[in-house]
Each structure stands twice: as structure tokens, then as C-alpha cells.
Structure 1
Amino acid sequence: MLALLAAASAAKGDRLPEVIDEAQRSNPELRVLESSVGASKGGVITARTRANPELSFAPGVRRTSESGIGSKDDFHGDFALSQLFEWPGKRALKIALAQEDVTVQQLAVEAFRFEIAAKVRRAFYELLAAQKITTLRQEQVESSQTFVESSRKRAESGYASDFETLKSQAELIAAQRELLDAQGKVAAARVTLNSLLGRLPSASLEVEGTLEGAGVRSAANASYVALAMARNPSLRTLNVQAESAGLNLRATRFGRRPDFAVGPQVEYTHNEQIYGLGVTVALPFWDRKKGEIQTATAEQQKTLAEIEKTRREIEAAVTTASKNLELAQKVRALYTPEFLRKLKALVSQAEQSYAQNATTLIIYLDAKRTYFDALSSYYDSLGNVAGQRAELESAIGVPLDTNP
């Protein structure tokens, strides 16, 4: 086992942080979401910007008629400058709504970045476990090939029967089949991880790391649920959307209060100038925003209902994932260091005894098979713990070491 771990450690490949960083950098959808944050910040600038003043100019001719003199034409012009003012409170609500939209977009980026990391983490550990099992099965094939050669020589020397030769060949075929199965799992895991990294599915990819530290300390399910309720990006997004829905309802109700335009006016002729102050107000006689208020109220209620629904779904997902992780860690704990040490000693003893004709062929082969199958199951259990941890983190929405 120590030789296998040393061989795995010597392998050069991509580490988990590097792989996650590459996946996030190469994902086009993440760049789209990041661009949306910039666009929403532009909405805040727009909400803060006041309306431009309006200048109107109406030139004309004033014709007067006097008896005995005839008509007389004089220049006449109307000038007006007006500035639109929103009802007090409207502009502040618009700014608040725009800022909430920025928060929603930022949460979307955060959630998607974590989603990418969670998917990559699962695929990474799946590939890492498959690589370790492949290395183990390769050692099994090499051991079986040595046994075949030894059996052939023993049979030629008259120290072994044809049964031993056929049995050794059967063991070699079984080992080769296990190796092919392991290589198939490596290929499938590599395709999955390559697709997440934006590489060609068939691109060469080896990963480097350890499975032993992927577990977590046992914790109550309630602590996982509390962490999810406090930090899950989907739930936080819905909470912000609920706040936005409330602000939108207030803004819609404020819509019944009319905006107004104020500005100076000048009426000009060559011998007379009239100055005034113009005020324009829309009278809310017909449009009282009843339809818009009803829609905004329904949207707020819908968002609140979605929050409750999402909270229940998250709690169920976290509970299931935490239970699966607990079971996976219990299975992993079955393979104690003492058991693995004894397993290694057993196969070494069986090899030595068989070489000295002190044990039977069946016992020797059974010891070898038990050794390789047990180590394969051990690596499977390590990979399962890593995968279940990734599932739990995905259900919670943040890494397990995050503070609530």
C-alpha cells in the first residue's frame, strides 16, 4: 500500500485549486454574469440621474390694426424653461431598486462560481480515485503476469500441474478485466472534468492530490441546515428579491403621486415683456395605478412563497446529503490503518509461503485477490467520502468551513 501511495504522490498532475481556477476562468457563462453586474451598476447611475430640463421657444408675429393707420406687424415670442421633479421619495426608491438589482447580479455570480467549483470538485475526486484504483489494478496485472511466468516454469520443471498454469492464466485475465474497467472509469471521469475545464473531451489530463483529507468532522445536521439558511446563495438571492418586491410595491404606490415640472416663462414683444412661472402637474383622475399595485402585490407574495418553498427544499437536500456523508465516513472508518497494515503483511506472508511450497495455490490466490479487492474498496470509500462532501457543500451552497 505504501508503494502505491508513493507512486501516486510521485505522479505529476493538476491540483484541485488550479483546476477550479481554470474552470472558472474558461467558463463563458460566468463572464456573461459578470458583465450583467456591470450593466446593473449602470442602472444605478441611471436611477441617480435627474431628468434634463426642457427649453421651448415659440416665435410668431403679432398683428395689430388701428383705424386710419392700417395693420402693423410686430415680433412676438414665447420662451419657457421647465425642469421635471419627481415626487419626494420616488427617486430614492428607484435608486434602492437599482442597487438591489446589483446585489442580485453579484449573488448570481457568487452562486455560479461556487456551482462550478462544486462540480469540478466532484469530478476531480472521482478522477483521482479512479487513477488510484487504476494504479492498484496495474500492480495486480503485473503480479498476475509474474505468477503466470512462475507457474509456467514450475510446470516445465515438473513442480506444478497444468491446473496451476491454467489457474494463473485465469487470474491474469480477471486482473486485466479489472484494469480495463478501472481505465474506463478514468476515461469517463476525465471527459467530465475536461468538459468543465473547457478542454477537448479527449485531452490528456492527470490530477494530483490526496483523498485522505476529504472528510469532515462529524457535526449535527442542524448546524449544516443553519449554515445553509444563512449563506445559501439561492436563498439569499430570493431574500434580496423579496426586498426588491417590497420596494417595487412602494414605488408603484408612489406612482399615484404626480411628478411636476416647474420653470420660468417669458412672453416677448418689442414694447412689452411678460414674465411668469409655469407649473405642470398631471392630475391623477383616471389612472390610479390600481392594476400596477395589484401586480406588484402579487409579485411580492409570490416571492415570499418561493422563499418558503426553497427553504424546505434546501433543508431536505442538506439533511439527505449530510446523512449520506455520515454513512460514507462510517464506511471509510472500517478500513483502519491496523487493518491495512495486516492486509499488506498477509499478502507478503502468502507470497513467501507459496514460494517455499508452504501453502496451497488456492490460499495464495485468495490472499492476493483479497488484498487487491480490499484496497480497491478502500479507494472507493475515500472517493465516496470526497464526493459526498462535495454533494453536501453543493446543497448548503458554501464550503463546509465557511462561518455562518
Structure 2
Amino acid sequence: MKCSLALLALLSASAASAQEPARGAPPDAPDPILEGLVQDALTHRPELAQSSTAVEAERERVPQAGAMPDPMFQVGIQNDGFKEIQIGKMETSYLSFMLTQPFFFPGKRGLRGEVARLGADQAEAAVARMRLSVEAEVRRAYLDLLLARDQLALLARTEALWLQSEKAARARYAVGEGAQSDLLRAQLERMRLRQQRLALEAQERTRVQELNRLRHRPLAEPIPTVRRIRDLADPALPPVAEALADAEARTPELAQAQLAQAQAEKRVALARREKLPDFTVSAGVMARGELDPMWQLSLGVTLPVWSGQKQNRAVAESAARARGSAHGEMAVRDLVRLRTEERLALLASARETVKLYRQELLVQSEAMATSTLGQYQTGRIPFASVLDGLNTWLATQGGFLDAVAQLQRLGIAQRELSLEAPGGAGGGMATGPVPGAGGGMGGQKAMGGGASVSQGAPAPAEESGGAATSGGM
């Protein structure tokens, strides 16, 4: 009886600890540890520095594209006959110094500079995408670290509950009121928890290593956390029009597509301008020794006699590429709208799922577990029902952690403005297998590494007992 009362008290304390918010900063206050990790990654990530130098290189191309052609200086000699130098003796013998400067037709230099500038702007938009992705990677890795540590905390409460369950079963078995199978099952479940702890501890280490890699730090550098995943504020659900406007304004891929279209239009204008002739101005002085020097000034014009094969084809090529860029911009805009509305729909569903957990599932699972414990004390139900009740409560707690993590991943994806499909690589919403999230909690499948987690919240366990198919710890 004392063991049963202790088990009931421990369950109540665990439930209260699981549902009460953490003390300190409010949930919507910035997490200084997370913000520091993000800043470290944005400052020290080598890939980001590499992309920034690429922008610098592109910027250096702009003045090159709009520069004048290099002049040419020539030195020559003209001499009458082959027997001796006749400079100063013959009027047609001289030493010449010639300077030639090509000039583009007006407008060509400016268009070439614009084409190069728009290329540099596209490279800068690529850096903006990388910055968003780096920040999102850090936030997801930090979220996974919080999830692993919260799962370890839940595992510690689980171990205490199973220990008390084992004591209760042992006490009843000692006085002949319980079956030996009850004791053996309680012992088995507690042994399974050791396996799960190893998996979760390994997961915690890998999350720390990933965060350190993202910010270019030693992999083993410890990362403290003060937040619990259950205490994080739910991501806001903006109106569709507001979210679409924000996505179209901030999505780097759309900015790149718009810049590419503008660049293609400038290329068309430049190709048309290339059909116009360029000029060459030459000036020279001919030294004739003791005779008076001569001078020369000439103007040359290129003749686009092959424009049918060259310049006209270049115009047609640039126009075709411009049409393709326009279609590409429309395709990217459509994709931005699709991904935004997909995330909003999933975000709304995830918010309702977490709300359902908080308002009903957690309360109901605790009430069911408490009820089975009370009935077990009076001898009205077998010990197996107690175990099933505890399994349901623990599975619901784990499912709640996964549901909150899923909601936070959706919020991160919305902030990242990724064009990846929800749940895809970089989309930030796939949870993957959760080590230690399967066996050891009643009839759940023991995997040693965890059970796979589908999108959305895990289904609550059936009240009739058995296995709670939670996707989490």
C-alpha cells in the first residue's frame, strides 16, 4: 500500500512538473543562448564567408564591364630604300608615334555595367538565402537539443515511476496478492529504459556537435540550455495576405529571379546597341629628322556587315533568354505562394494539436493513470492495468513534446522562407526517428533507437490499455 501511495504521489508530482511553465523569462522572450549561437554561426560560418567573398568578386566586375577599351601606342618607321636610313634626307622617310583609342557607341558601356551590377546583386541575394538557411539550421539544431534533453528528463521521471511500480509489484507478490509476472514485467520495462537512455544521450551529444560545427567551434564544446521545449511560445499564425506579402518581399530566390529578369532585359538592350558601330580615333606624329615633322589624325568606324549572322542573332538570343527569365520569375512567385500557404495550413493544424494536448490529452491521460492507481490500491484491477495506464500517460507526454517540436519547426521554416516542400531537406519540419521513443513504455515497439515520427502529433493511446503509439519519449 505504501508503494502504491508513493507511486501515486510521484505521478502527480511528475504531471505537475510537466505542465507548469518554467520560471524566469516569459516564453516569448528571446533566448539569449540561442541568439548567441545564431550570431556565432552568422559571424564564423566558413561557407557564409565564402559566399560573401563571391559577392565582393562580383562587385569588382562592375567597373571592369563599364570601362573604356585600352588605348594602343604604336612606334613605327618608314624609310625609302634598303641601303641606308633616309630619315632627315627624304621627305617620305620618318619615325612615327601613333596613339589609338577605341570608343564604344554611346550607351554600350552603361548597359554593360548594369548587366554586371545585376549579376552582383544576384550573388548578394544568394548570400541572403545562405544567411536565412544558416540561422534556420542553428535554430533547428538547438530545438533538437532541447528536445533530446527534455526527453532525457522525461526518461528520468519514467525510471522513477517504473522503480515505484516494481516496488509495488514486489510488495504485493511478497504477500501473495500479486503475480510474479507483474514483477517481471516491471523489471523488464525498467531495463529497457537503460537502453533508451544510451540512445538519448548519444543523440544529445550529436546535437551539441552539430551546433558547434554550425558555428565553427570545437565539436566537444559544451552548450548549456535553460529553456524547456514545452515552455517555448507558439509561433504566430499571420493572416494569409500578410504572410504572402512578407514572403514575396523577403524570399531571396524571388529576388534573384526578379534580378535575373532585369538583367536579361538589359542584355536585350545591349544586344540591340551592339548592332551600332563603334569608333576608333588615332593620332600620330611622324618625325623626319632635320625636316619638319608631320602629324596624322584619323577616325575609324566598324562596319557591322555580318549583323545578320552575329548581332541580329545575339538580339534574338537575348530576347529568348529574357522571355525565359520572365517565366522563371512567375514560376518562383507561384512556388513562394504555394510554400507559404502550405506552411500556414500545417502551422494552424500544429497549433490546434498542441492546444488539444495541453487542454485535454495531458489532463485525461493523467486522470486515467491516477484512476488506475487508485483502483489498484483497492484491488479492483490487476497490475497490468496500472502499467497500461502509466504507458498511456508517458506516451502522451512524449507525444506532446514531439507535437511542440513539430510546431516550432514549422515556425522556423516560416521564418526561413524555404522553397523546399514541407518535410523535405531544408524544409525544417521532418522530425525523423527519435532515439529512445519506442520501447520500454508498455506495449510500444522496442527499437533501441526509437520509433519513426510522422508529421503532426502522435495519436493518443487507447484507453483500453496496451500500446501507446506515440512518436516521442
Q: Deviations over 1:206-229 (max 9, x none)?
A: 655343435233333333222222
SS in 2 for 1:15: helix
Show the counterpart of 1:228: 247
Q: TM-score, normalised by structure 2?
A: 0.70
Shift of 1:174: 5.7
Bigger Cα displacement from structure 2, 157-166 vs 231-240: 157-166
Bigger Cα displacement from structure 2, 183-192 vs 313-322: 183-192
User: Residue 317 of structure 1 aligns to which amino acid in structure 2?
Assistant: R
1:76 equivalent in alignment to 2:94:
yes
Show the counterpart of 1:59: 77
* Counterparts of 2:201 and 2:349, CA distance in 1: 27
Show the counterpart of 2:436: none
CA contact (8 A) 1:321 1:395 kept: no
CA contact (8 A) 2:96 2:287 kept: yes
Shift of 1:372: 1.9
* Counterparts of 1:369 and 1:180, CA distance in 2: 20
Show the counterpart of 2:121: 103
Show the counterpart of 1:38: 56
User: Residue 294 of structure 1 aligns to which amino acid in structure 2?
Assistant: A
Q: How many residues align?
A: 388
* Counterparts of 2:326 and 2:96, CA distance in 1: 54
Query: Alpha carbons of 1:208 and 1:177: their partners in 2 closer, same or farther (altered >3 Å)?
Result: same
RMSD value, Cα: 3.6
Higher helix share: 1
Show the counterpart of 2:316: 294
* Counterparts of 1:63 and 1:362, CA distance in 2: 121
User: Residue 279 of structure 1 aligns to which amino acid in structure 2?
Assistant: L
Shift of 1:332: 0.3
Show the counterpart of 2:10: none
Show the counterpart of 1:68: none
CA contact (8 A) 1:63 1:73 kept: no
User: Residue 376 of structure 1 aligns to which amino acid in structure 2?
Assistant: G
CA contact (8 A) 1:225 1:396 kept: no
Aligned positions of 1:9-24 closer than 5 A? 15-24=33-42
Aligned positions of 1:188-337 closer than 5 A? 196-197=214-215, 208-211=226-229, 212-269=231-288, 270-287=290-307, 289-336=311-358
Tell me: higher relative CO, structure 1 or 2? Use CA pairs within 8 A at least 6 residues apart: 1
CA contact (8 A) 1:63 1:72 kept: no
SS in 2 for 1:335: helix
Show the counterpart of 2:184: 166
Shift of 1:182: 5.0
Shift of 1:185: 5.7
* Counterparts of 1:276 and 1:299, CA distance in 2: 45
Higher strand share: 1
1:131 equivalent in alignment to 2:185:
no
Q: Deviations over 1:311-355 (max 9, x none)?
A: 22222222222111111111001123687567667767876x589
Shift of 1:60: 3.5
Shift of 1:304: 0.9
Bigger Cα displacement from structure 2, 148-157 vs 313-322: 148-157
Q: Percent identity?
A: 20
User: Residue 168 of structure 1 aligns to which amino acid in structure 2?
Assistant: A
1:377 equivalent in alignment to 2:395:
no
CA contact (8 A) 2:150 2:228 kept: no
Q: Deviations over 1:184-218 (max 9, x none)?
A: 76567567656645678888766553434352333
Q: Deviations over 1:364-403 (max 9, x none)?
A: 4444333322221211111010112223334467xxxxxx
* Counterparts of 1:58 and 1:218, CA distance in 2: 78
